[in-house]
Structure 1
Amino acid sequence: MSLSPNYLNDRICINVLANSVENAKDCYDAAEGHVVLGVLSKNYATDEAAIADMKLYQAATDNALSVGLGAGDPNQSQMVSRVSAVLQPQHVNQVFTGVGTSRALLGQKKTIINGLVSPTGKVGYVNIATGPLSSQAPEAIVPIETAIKLLQDMGGSSVKYFPMKGLSHKEEYQAVAEACAKYDFYLEPTGGIDLNNFAEIVQIAIDAGVKKIIPHVYSSIIDPKTGNTSPEDVEKLLQMSQAILT
């Protein structure tokens, strides 16, 4: 399976959820390939079922697969690592403590693995206690620079900053973006991103000098009746991304 699609060369790559293989293909086409399609491990009872189904998504989208946890559920961390080892996807979502396991099992450096850190209410600091056990303990608040270096130690590619609640943590997010740029790390803003705030959120990261931004746009562009991500909205996100870069 190819590990060098269009999006690996993009400064902005959109991450959206796929409700079906057909929906994934429609969104992939709408984004002209500049997208990864999230499929949640939490939706499957077994590794085998997840692997069999996710292979269909890979085939339909030139492996633009993003293996997801499921609303950042830390209890899915091990399953994500196991199925990703078999699938070799373009993108893996992980809690902070699961990054090293995923990278070791993948056995290569090309797949992008994010590590989930959360806002703290304090500019320049993030909570890294996002794993299955650590998320049940008191917060582990560290400087964003330290969090990035720890992720790099584990073989991570990017900070997944969640839950952002849109622009509710704007100053904190700006500090995260500046640190990612300083230490040559990717950034994945996540939570509460919609068509109205997408451009500003991405622009903040661009202005900070972040090399690659992977904004996650989920529920705001999902049709509540069908559960499908809207290809028309994905096309709008692509157009906004292109406008930012021109």
Structure 2
Amino acid sequence: MKKEPNYLGNRLSLNVLANSIENAKACYEAAEGNILLGVLSKEYDTDEAAIEDMKKYIEATDNALSIGLGAGDPNQSQMVSRLAGGLQPQHVNQVFTGVGTSRGKLAQDQTIVNGLVSPTGKVGYVNIATGPLSSKKASVEITIEAAITLLKDMGGSSIKYFPMKGLTHKEEYRAVAKACAENDFLLEPTGGIDLENFGEIVEIALSVGVEKVIPHVYSSIIDPSSGNTRPEDVAKLYDIMKRLVEKYKNQ
């Protein structure tokens, strides 16, 4: 069972990739525990190897484990669900159609399970065709409110909005954030987030009243020579998080 997360005011938690146990611990400390550490299922050949290794991350970081697909790869959906059932992490990344399977394998409602939806170019609408088969066909565009309702039916906790490409889809993202706030749903902005746009992306969500925001910051803070997420950059993001949560603490 997962450990209750230590979110800032229960409003905001960072999600970054962990390249090793040592890297995970360093990032966890840099964010004072207000972090989820992504470990990608795609990096493992078997469930057994993944479970053995991911258990070490759980032990090293008070179960701040976030089981990842790997760039939203829909072909990892079933493996992620199996791992979730065996590991009981704090956080699970899923494609839209895999949410129900993950929740069923978890057999509890505490772990955060997101459902991946994508921008469409139209404000108020998202593409839910992110599964192994559906992603190969034409997009399925529905209102963000409908997507949230369907995810709730499947036991989902949050919208993973990907790929955002930073602020490219700013007005679409704002509409997604408003819908999450109005429907008591968590929001996970993902894709193209860096030290420069992080504050604005998070503030958009907090300013409209999203209950909990989990921004994913990946390649922009990874050292290309080592593959490690830079703890010093995590610390910078954490400072921004503290400032924003203080600013919107009464909202």
Q: Is the 8 A contact 1:187 1:210 kept in 2?
A: yes
Which runs of structure 2 are paired with 1:93-112 in the superposition (5 Å)? 93-112=93-112
- Structure 2 length as normaliser, TM-score? 0.97
Report the equivalent of 2:136.
Answer: 136
Q: Deviations over 1:140-185 (max 9, x none)?
A: 0000000000000000000000000000000000000000000000
Hey, what's the Cα distance between the residues in 2 that align with 1:141 and 1:36?
30
Relative to structure 1, the CA distance from residue 34 to residue 215 in structure 2 (aligned partners, 3 Å threshold; closer, same or farther) is: same
Which runs of structure 2 are paired with 1:1-246 in the superposition (5 Å)? 1-7=1-7, 10-246=10-246
Hey, what's the Cα distance between the residues in 2 that align with 1:110 and 1:70?
23
Hey, what's the Cα distance between the residues in 1 that align with 2:35 and 2:203?
18
Q: Is the 8 A contact 2:8 2:245 kept in 1?
A: no
Q: Deviations over 1:39-86 (max 9, x none)?
A: 000000000000000000000000000000000000000000001100
- Structure 1 length as normaliser, TM-score? 0.99
Q: CA deviation at 1:2?
A: 4.0
Structure 2's unaligned 5+ residue stretches are 247-251
Tell me which amino acid in the other structure corresponds to 1:55: K
Give SS of 1:6's match.
coil
Hey, what's the Cα distance between the residues in 1 that align with 2:8 and 2:238?
15
Hey, what's the Cα distance between the residues in 2 that align with 1:93 and 1:8?
21
- Paired residues, number: 246
**Identical-pair percentage:** 72
Q: Is the 8 A contact 1:13 1:213 kept in 2?
A: yes
Hey, what's the Cα distance between the residues in 2 that align with 1:99 and 1:3?
21
Give SS of 1:188's match.
strand
Q: Is the 8 A contact 1:16 1:218 kept in 2?
A: yes
Give SS of 2:97's match.
helix
Give SS of 1:196's match.
coil
